[in-house]
Chains A and B, each alone.
Chain A
Amino acid sequence: MPKLVLQNIRKSFGANAVLNGIDLTVEDGEMVCLIGASGSGKSTLLRTINLLDPLDDGEIFLDGADIADPELDPQPIRQRIGMVFQSYNLFPHMTAEENVMLAPRRIKNRTREDLHPEIAALFEKFGLADRMQHYPDQLSGGQQQRVAIVRALAMRPEIMLFDEITSALDPELVGEVLDVLRALKAQGMTMILATHEMQFAREAADKVCFLEAGRILEEGAPQDVLANPREERTRAFLSRVL
């Protein structure tokens, strides 16, 4: 059974239709990259999967169960889906460690002492061992974004959503964040990324989807979509960004 299946996702903001019937299947352990111009619906799609924006129509099956049912409480579902944002969105009044511990402590009722070893291991793994007691404004953009990833991972999500997580970073800091994604992929994490990093998508993605005007215009293996696009508009987009 696929990990995640999207069927006919539709979402409008007022008269502006942002998602126009998206169908997408994500297998367990797959990395799917969403590419496309700004405003093509990538971010909105990720936000609807995490139920931050309620969708107007369509179904989202996580392990075969529809999580987009409006009657469901979104809270326990969000705990199974991690999300990382372009602007990091760390909590500025907490240290890196407190940022990471907040959700496990409040939701799973775990204690600091109990959590410390596994969280320290996560910081260590992503090169942040000496940054646990720092506040977000004492960290570089790349470090903040890695802390944000650790924060999402601490809830042990089954699937991770990344919303243009390198777009706000200085070019020399992009690499360290992409390394984290490579490590997660090696670990078998199921991931969906909205990204402008075409080089990374070509090298690491299992599937690339080109979005335009709220539709998936073309999808397939990166060597097909990125190197030999079928659609004229995919080609036009790629010639602008590559």
Chain B
Amino acid sequence: MADNTSQTASGLTRRQLHERRVQRRSLLVAGSSTVAVLLALILLVPLAPGWERVKASFFDWEVFRQTFPTLLEAFLLDVAIFAWCAPLIAIWALVIAICRDVRSPALYPLRLFAMLYTDIFRGVPVILVVYLIGFGIPGLGLPRPWNSPYIWGSLALILTYSAYVAEIYRSGIESIHQSQRNAALSLGLSNADTMRYVVLPQAIRRVVPANMNMLIALQKDVALLSFIGPVEIFRQAGVFKSLLANFTPYVVAAVIFLAITIPATRFADHLIAKQNRQRS
């Protein structure tokens, strides 16, 4: 008998050659179908009767150029609001999550409070909370700077988002296996120390990807504060819209948001994929 391996002339096995052929074929199919769809969009959409009007009011390059710098500057306010809300949410949500986990009967009011809190703030639309707190509390006639919509608008976001993030923390806490608690308790650690040094560090790490998604949602929802005053990017775009009688500033705002959220989303997906790989 001759040499009986499956090596071919190219030095690859039959299986490798087959996989290479399959991969080439799928790349070709994916590429040509994408090009076909794009071509159809580019050729067909302009055929719509209102296209010229839409193009003029949403995709005016001159308006884009003119408004972009100011809108980018206004976006910095969104970033700033995001930047001070995010850490406060992380902390407050952790407090709520821990309150929901206390077992001691003396602390039952805390537990009840945490339950009501998450029920209420997850059950009300964010924009309503922004209105109620953003208009309601300054309406008490507080002196400057305590009547600032920045403070109360941010508080509305913090309160709402903490309810969601607290639930994420809690799912993380519950995902830590009972054997970890048992090991800590068997060493003589208190319940509080077990939570603080053994359960929480693992739980928080485990829910980082889920919390990344909440951060992305928060970055977008900062725009809701425009309804109670702050001239951030969405409100600034509205000002330009009225001034120039053109909707392009909204498209500019969307592009600026996407420039932040798309990389952040990809990063969150990457974290999730990495975690799944580690666990399997």
Partner-B contacts on A (CB < 8 A):
47, 50, 52, 74-76, 78-83, 85, 87, 89-93, 102-103, 106-107, 148, 151-152, 155
Contacts and interface: CB of A to CB of B under 8 A. Distances in A.
Nearest to B179: A89
B46 interface: no
B273 interface: no
Contacts of B197: 91, 102, 106
Specify the main secondary structure of chain A where it touches its partner: mixed
A131 B187 CA distance: 21
Contacts of A75: 188-190
Interface stretch (B16-24, B146-154, B198-206): B198-206
B202 A85 contact: no
Q: Which 10 A-B pairs have the closest CB atoms?
A: A79-B188, A89-B183, A103-B187, A83-B186, A78-B188, A89-B179, A106-B193, A93-B201, A50-B186, A93-B202
B188 A76 contact: yes
Interface residues of B, number: 17
A91 B205 CA distance: 13
B32 interface: no
Contacts of A83: 186
Contacts of A90: 183
A79 B185 contact: no
Contacts of A85: 179, 182-183
B175 interface: no
Nearest to A151: B187
B189 A102 contact: yes
B189 A52 contact: no
B187 A52 contact: no
Contacts of B185: 52, 74, 78
Contact of A91 (B188, B193, B198): B198
B180 interface: yes
A163 B177 CA distance: 18
A15 to B, nearest CB: 22
A52 B186 contact: yes
Contacts of A151: 187
